[in-house]
Amino acid sequence: MSAAAGSTGAAAHRDAGPAGAALQGRHALVTGASRGIGFEVARALLAQGARVTLLGRNPQALQQAAAALAGHGEVHTASGDVAQRPAVDAAFASAVQRFGAVDILVNNAGQAVSQRFDRLTEEQWQQMLAVNLTGTFHCMQAALPGMLQRQWGRIVNVASTAGLVGYAYVSAYCAAKHAVVGLTRSVALEAAGKGVTVNAVCPGYTETDIVREAVANISGKTGMSPEQARAKLAERNPQGRLVQPAEVASAVQWLCLPQAGAINGQSIPVDGGEVMVG
């Protein structure tokens, strides 16, 4: 379903978008787009003239997000679990039917489970790999062939500083995000020279549902107040604060612009200086 009126079909939309916008006529698909970083990424790409498909598991949440973006540009919603290949294929088919081929893919869908390693269950381990890594793999495989054929594309994987360093009690999440960084680098090399770039952004602790769940978990296990738990997480950032979703979205937006064509295979921390990558 679409949140914007207009004729259907790819051909009718190829020249849509604000005049002079850098991504005018481009179709972006954003996963995990109903809230948080994904929602802000959608807003940022719409501001550059892209038509945006919001992909997520909750149809009602997607429709609410689309309604909130009404007036910002053309928006389509497609529901499905990125961990399931048939659901991804169906979502991409819906997106292509509405707005044409996918030019920009932002893999933002993710989950985090906090557990001491020796108590981590295989089910939790597999869940972290399925959502954070396999979901990224599915969507990249769905989008990349068309990008290579058209000789233009942008893939941005929302990883985490947990993909660059280790964190205690989130070993499965760290393993999955490290794998996303490795996948990003490998596919970037395969796509280099073909007009397609593949990059990752690595947010530190960001004001999202994952951090709110972490705050609740810390409070429940340590007796800290929610305010104290938030402050504890914010201490990791040299700026002494949580990153905001719009700040992550700004980095994603930049990587999607034509002017960022020389940036490829990079994993860019958005963390106030927490992680220094040499």
* CA separation for the pair 223, 189 (Å, rounded): 47
Q: Both tokens of residue 70?
A: 């009404």
Whether 173 is a known active-site residue: answer yes
CA angle, 242 then 35 then 268, to 5°: 50
Q: Which of 167, 169, 173, 205 is catalytic?
A: 173
Going by C-alpha positions, the residue among 111, 103, 94, 43 that lies closest to residue 73 is: 43
Give the residue numbers marked as catalytic: 173
